[in-house]
Structure formats: C-alpha cells, structure tokens
C-alpha cells in the first residue's frame, strides 16, 4: 500500500482538519478555492517546529557563547549579571529587570559581520548537544511538522517561519532542517551598520534590537511587512502566537489555525503554551477553543516526534 | 532559427556581460559556480524596471489621490501646501522643507487597512494614463528587463525588487508586471497598527514611515533584513542604488553590477542617474566606471523599450 500523506500523524481530528483544509483550498472551482499566490502559511519555530525545552535553542547557544567569551575575558566573567547567567541563576541575573541580561547577550556578537555571525551559529550547531536527548538541537525538529511543511509546499503554499527568535540564528539552519529559504524567515533582529572595510562593504551587527521582539502583535505586523499578504494558515504553540493566528483566521478566505499542545512528557515535554514575555497570560490552547482553532496533541496526534530515537 | 535569450537586447558588451555571468555562476564544477541558494539578484524598480519620468509612478498616484480627496474636503484643498502640490508648484510646496509635503502625502491613506490600500492602488492603475505615452504606467515596464528577470529565474536565481518606492504600492502590481511575488519586494513602508474591528483583526496604515526610506545604505541593510544573503547581482539606475551595488559586488562570490543609463530621449528619456534625495551627487554611471560595473545604454543596448508602441 502506498504511504498516504503525513505518515507520522495518527488518524484523528487534527490530521483530518489539515488534509480537509488543504484539499478544500486547492480544489479548483470549489467553494473554498484559494489561488496559489494567496496560499500563505506562517509557522512559529520554537515549540512548533523544534523542541524549545529545557530552554530555547538560541538561549543554549548564547549561554555557550557567553561562557566561551568569559573564559577569555576576566572582566566580563566578573560581571555579576554574567556570573549569575553562567551559573543558571536567572533570579539574580534578572533582579534588575530584563534590560541588563538583554544587553549582555546582545553585546556578545556586536561587531561581527552578518556572515561571521552565520558562521558562528553553524559552528555551534555542529558541536552542540541537547541536555536531555544528547543530539544536536538541529536534530530535534518535529518530524510530523516537517512532513506538514512538505505537504503544504506540494499543494502550492508559500511556507514562512515567523519566529520570536533571532532571524539570523534561524536562517543559519532553516533551509537544511525545514527546506525554508533564508528570505522566508521572519524573526527578531538586531540593527546592522553599513560599513566599508578596505574595498569591501560589510554589514556589522550592533547590540541594538531592530524594532520590537517578534512576538504578539508584532508577528502580525511583521508578516505584512515581510510577506505582504494575509496568511490563510497559521501554526503556533504559545500565547505569543495568538495575534498571528487571529490575523490569519479572520480574513475573507477560508483559513485554519493550528496550535501544538505539548502534552507528551514521555517523548518530549508537557507544559502550557504561555508567552515567554507574559507567563501569566492565558495558554494558547484555551484561546484556541474559543476561536475554533484546531489543537494538535503531541501525545495523541503524532506517531513519532523526532527523527532520532 | 530559435530565438536566443534576451531577444530585446542588441548584441553588445552589456548583453554579453549578462549572458557570460549567468553561464559562469551556473556551470557546475566551474571556477565561478554559485549554488542556486546563493544566486540572489536585487533590482531597483523606478527607472530600472519601469519608467520614472516625468515623475515617479507613485507620485502620479499620490497627486491623483490628493486631488480626489481635496475635491471632497474644502479644508484640505485650502491648505497652502496642498494647493501648491495640486498646481504642481513644488517650489512653494517644499519652501518649508520636505516635511509638510511628506506629511500631506503620508496622511492620504492613514486609516486604510492594508487590503484597502492595495485595492486603491489597483483601481488607480486600472484608470491611469502616462502623460506622455498615453498608456497605463503598468504598461511602461522595460521589456528587456522583464526578459532579464525571466532569464535569471530560469537559471535558478531568486529575483527581488529593492525599491525606494512604497513596498505596498509596488506589491500591488509586481507579480502581474514582473512575475515577482509580494514577499520578494523590499521597499519603503509606513507603520501599520494592529487593530480589532468586531471579530476581525486588521492592520491599519498610519502616517508614520517605518524606519528610513529605502535608498542608499538602507537598501543594503534592508536586503539583509529581508533576504538574509548577500546578492551576487544588483541592478540600479541612480546614486540611491550605489550602496546596494557595492554590497552585491564586494562579497566572496563572483558578482555583477548593472547600471541602466537613460540616454534615449527619443524612445524614453535622457537624464543623469542622481539620487532623488541628493540631486548634487555623482551620477551612478560615473561610479560604475570606477567600480567595474556594466553600464547598459538604453539607446544602444535595447532593441525595444516598451511592449506598447
């Protein structure tokens, strides 16, 4: 028997909702038909496409980079914020608010060209190991989601990653892991300076954020800025994805909102989908029920989670 | 005989430089090979892809929209800046600097959703006529350039428009005219506000620019922000494209810079490629000679200019 689409998804309401939606919007002449040019899918990254526990992959990267830099620089190592960060003591590190921590982390790659930063990320991925699963964090993409991105592309969708993470961090691996080109990644960013070095023009990272972090309302706003069309499919796993999902599912076209519920402590983790910046906010699964979005149970809807055992 | 590539280009140094460059970067195993993922081409719009005289197409649009609004609104019509603008008296309109003019024009579409703005642009293109050529401005794309974009795409290039014009203005027609999807257009932009109207989320245009106009250094910076890779081919026609061309042509890869020289008063216009914002600056054709960029003479290198007679 030929394998059907989405082989790593169990039969159930979530898989059916996805297949039905894709069939509906691609049926020429049908009541739900959407031209390919308007088949835009936006997908969160951390916790939606890859594992985000025990910490965001980018945080693991920054911790390692900070430790490496502190080993070279006693003054940096003696900074109480940095010392607390390196001990994993977030309470002390953030006692004065998130500003000093952000400054310490944003300053890590100040002065690097964008190419040098991409090389640093790629090198880190080549050596890093996830603390629980013991494999590179780039091997902890969710197989069912990678299949879903392929299914969407095979049906004429443009697939964009819309992440709260750093856009250049995700771009360094998005094509290899997800088949998503760098220009199809929308994320948080730092400002870069235009500079001449000898005969060459380079773009140099600063320690300043470019606009707001790409979470909440900025996700919807940056989708328009970058993609220029209202999506018809949005997928997320935290309250920081709420506005993006609302934007995608309240246009004139048929639409689908999907929410990944992390309810699988055995194969991955079990936790509520709150936003990093608003831990007290309503979990996205509660909002999904009110909004008619489809909740994907990692435990029940996914036959497998990772490609590695 | 089968038609060769770029049929609307005359044989000459410019056509040869283009064909040689494309052949070189696509020859697998060759010394200049560039993988498809890194074949990024960035192309200016006004004066590079379509006619920008006697005024930018977007200025023609804004003049018409301002006139229409002033007919409905006597108070607006009585504003001395607006009155001067409508009479084409730029000297009076800008006597107090460009700020009041920009405010009057940016305010025109404040409060529209992004979809409503796109509809307004599309409607204008459906009725507008170019003052000299008597056809819609969307029919004044340069045929040789449209051929070139197709040739690049056929050889694995990603083709992006990088315009000083408004990104949403160009997106409204970029796919139809150039085959460039809305998400592959980078331009100047206004801020939009996230808003709820009943059950719907909408994005509403403000009168505030988002960052700097997309000219000069910001073109290079926004290429990185949006595309995430250094281009290997850049095409422009004014000093506002200089930094983008420098960025594209000073990387590690083989690269090509192309500059369109408007030297054809008979079929189009003859003028120097200076930047709107710095009319006293060096023309881009002078810079091209020093930088080794290829200058395309509209008069000599193009067998035809427009698709319409």
Read out DSSP for B101-149?
Answer: HHHHHHGGGTT-BHHHHHHHHHHHHHH---TTT-S-GGG-B-HHHHHHH
Mapping DSSP to helix (H, G, I), strand (E, B) and coil, where does residue B188 land?
A: strand
Confidence of residue A89 (pLDDT cuts 50, 70, 90): confident
User: Any idea how long chain B is?
Assistant: 309
Average pLDDT of B37-53? 97
Tokens matching residue A197: 């070095």
Other C-beta atoms within 10 Å of A209: how many? 14
A156–B contact, CB cutoff 8 A: no
Tokens matching residue B244: 């983008």
Would you report the helix, strand and coil content of chain A in percent, each value rounded to 5?
45, 20, 35
Confidence of residue B279 (pLDDT cuts 50, 70, 90): low
Q: How far apart are CA B190 and CA B167, in angstroms?
A: 9
Peptide bond into B127 cis (omega under 30): no
CA of A65: how far to CAs of A81, A139, B95, in Å? 15, 20, 53
B124–A contact, CB cutoff 8 A: no
Residues of A in contact with B37 (CB under 8 A): 175, 181
Q: How far apart are CA B117 and CA B307, in angstroms?
A: 28
Tokens matching residue B40: 């990024």
Cβ-defined contacts of A75-79 (< 8 Å, 24+) = A79/A104
Q: How far apart are CA B152 and CA B256, in angstroms?
A: 12
Which residue did the predictor score with more confidence, A3 or B243?
B243
CB B139 within 8 A of CB B186: no
Element containing residue A104 per DSSP (H, E):
helix A98-106
Percent of chain B with pLDDT over 90: 84
Element containing residue A164 per DSSP (H, E):
strand A158-166
pLDDT of residue B280: 72
Question: Given a cut of 80, is residue A2 above it in pLDDT?
Answer: no
Mutate to test the interface with B, among A194, A217, A255 (most CBs of B within 10 A): A194
Tokens matching residue A271: 């936790």
Confidence of residue A96 (pLDDT cuts 50, 70, 90): confident
Please indicate whether, in this complex, the C-beta atoms of B243 and A200 are within 8 angstroms of each other.
Answer: no
Per-residue pLDDT reduced to its tens digit, B135-147? 999 999 999 999 9
Provide the β-strand partners of residue B141: B50
Confidence of residue A132 (pLDDT cuts 50, 70, 90): very high
Mapping DSSP to helix (H, G, I), strand (E, B) and coil, where does residue A205 land?
A: strand
CB B46 within 8 A of CB B52: yes
A210–B contact, CB cutoff 8 A: yes
CA of B166: how far to CAs of A187, A225, B71, in Å? 22, 11, 25
B201–A contact, CB cutoff 8 A: yes
pLDDT of residue B276: 61
- Report chain B's C-alpha Rg in angstroms: 20
Residues of A in contact with B251 (CB under 8 A): 200
- If you measure CA to CA, which chain A residue comes closest to B195? A217
Average pLDDT for chain A: 94
Confidence of residue B99 (pLDDT cuts 50, 70, 90): confident
DSSP 8-state symbol, A308 = -
Please indicate whether, in this complex, the C-beta atoms of B228 and A183 are within 8 angstroms of each other.
Answer: yes
Q: How far apart are CA A178 and CA A159, in angstroms?
A: 10
Q: How far apart are CA B131 and CA B128, in angstroms?
A: 9
Provide the β-strand partners of residue A9: A302
Residue B139 phi/psi, 5-degree rounding, is -95, 10
Q: How far apart are CA A98 and CA B97, in angstroms?
A: 41
Average pLDDT of A32-60? 96
Question: Given a cut of 50, is residue A1 above it in pLDDT?
Answer: no
B212–A contact, CB cutoff 8 A: no
Percent of chain A with pLDDT over 90: 85
Mapping DSSP to helix (H, G, I), strand (E, B) and coil, where does residue A196 land?
A: strand
CB A194 within 8 A of CB A2: no
Shortest Cα distance from B230 to chain A (angstroms)?
9
Residue A141 phi/psi, 5-degree rounding, is -75, 150
Element containing residue A60 per DSSP (H, E):
helix A57-72
CA angle A96, A97, A100 (to 5 degrees): 80
Residues of A in contact with B217 (CB under 8 A): 194
CB A175 within 8 A of CB B158: no
Question: Given a cut of 80, is residue A280 above it in pLDDT?
Answer: no
Mapping DSSP to helix (H, G, I), strand (E, B) and coil, where does residue B46 land?
A: strand
- If you measure CA to CA, which chain B residue comes closest to A290? B199
Shortest Cα distance from A82 to chain B (angstroms)?
29
A226–B contact, CB cutoff 8 A: yes
Which residue did the predictor score with more confidence, B199 or B99?
B199
Other C-beta atoms within 10 Å of B290: how many? 8
Tokens matching residue B51: 């006619």
- If you measure CA to CA, which chain B residue comes closest to A243? B201
- If you measure CA to CA, which chain B residue comes closest to A192? B221
Question: Given a cut of 60, is residue B111 above it in pLDDT?
Answer: yes
Question: Given a cut of 50, is residue B173 above it in pLDDT?
Answer: yes
Confidence of residue B165 (pLDDT cuts 50, 70, 90): very high
pLDDT of residue B1: 46
Average pLDDT of B21-44? 98
- Overall pTM > 0.90: yes
pLDDT of residue B4: 85
Please indicate whether, in this complex, the C-beta atoms of B228 and A201 are within 8 angstroms of each other.
Answer: no
Nearest to A194 by CA among B52, B197, B215: B215
CB A262 within 8 A of CB A44: no
Q: How far apart are CA A41 and CA A232, in angstroms?
A: 6
Q: How far apart are CA B265 and CA B299, in angstroms?
A: 8
Residues of B in contact with A115 (CB under 8 A): 230
Per-residue pLDDT reduced to its tens digit, B187-199? 999 999 999 999 9
CA of B97: how far to CAs of A152, B91, B270, in Å? 50, 10, 28
CB B250 within 8 A of CB B256: no
- If you measure CA to CA, which chain A residue comes closest to B243? A201
Nearest to A295 by CA among A8, A7, A18, A1: A18
Nearest by CB to A225, from B189, B224, B250: name it.
B189
Unique residue bearing structure tokens 């060769």: B4
CA dihedral angle for residue A32, residue A38, residue A39, residue A43, rounded to 10 degrees: -130
Average pLDDT of A192-205? 97
């Amino acid at each position: 028997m030929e394998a059907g689409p989405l082989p790593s998804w169990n039969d159930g309401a979530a898989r059916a909702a996805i297949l039905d939606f894709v069939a509906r919007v691609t049926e020429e002449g049908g009541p739900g038909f959407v031209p390919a040019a308007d088949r835009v899918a936006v997908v969160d990254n951390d916790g939606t496409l890859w594992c985000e526990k025990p910490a965001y992959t980018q945080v693991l990267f920054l911790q390692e980079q900070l430790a490496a830099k502190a080993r070279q620089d006693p003054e940096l190592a003696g900074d109480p914020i940095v010392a607390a960060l390196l001990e994993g003591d977030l309470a002390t590190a953030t006692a004065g608010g998130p500003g000093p921590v952000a400054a310490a982390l944003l300053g890590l790659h100040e002065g690097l060209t964008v190419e040098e930063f991409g090389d640093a990320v790629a090198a880190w991925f080549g050596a890093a190991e996830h603390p629980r699963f013991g494999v590179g964090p780039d091997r902890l993409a969710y197989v069912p989601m990678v299949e879903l991105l392929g299914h969407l592309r095979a049906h004429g969708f443009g697939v964009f990653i819309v992440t709260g993470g750093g856009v250049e961090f995700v771009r360094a691996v998005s094509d290899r892991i997800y088949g998503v080109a760098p220009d199809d990644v929308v994320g948080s960013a730092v400002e870069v300076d235009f500079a001449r070095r000898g005969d060459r023009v380079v773009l140099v990272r600063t320690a300043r954020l470019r606009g707001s972090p790409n979470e909440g309302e900025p996700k919807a706003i940056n989708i328009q800025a970058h993609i220029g069309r209202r999506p018809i499919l949005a997928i997320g796993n935290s309250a920081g994805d709420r506005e993006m999902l609302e934007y995608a599912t309240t246009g004139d076209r048929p639409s689908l909102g999907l929410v990944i519920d992390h309810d699988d402590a055995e194969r991955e983790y079990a936790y509520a989908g709150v936003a990093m910046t608003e831990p007290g906010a309503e979990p996205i699964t509660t909002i999904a029920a009110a909004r008619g979005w489809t909740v994907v149970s990692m435990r029940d809807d996914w036959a497998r989670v990772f490609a590695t055992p």
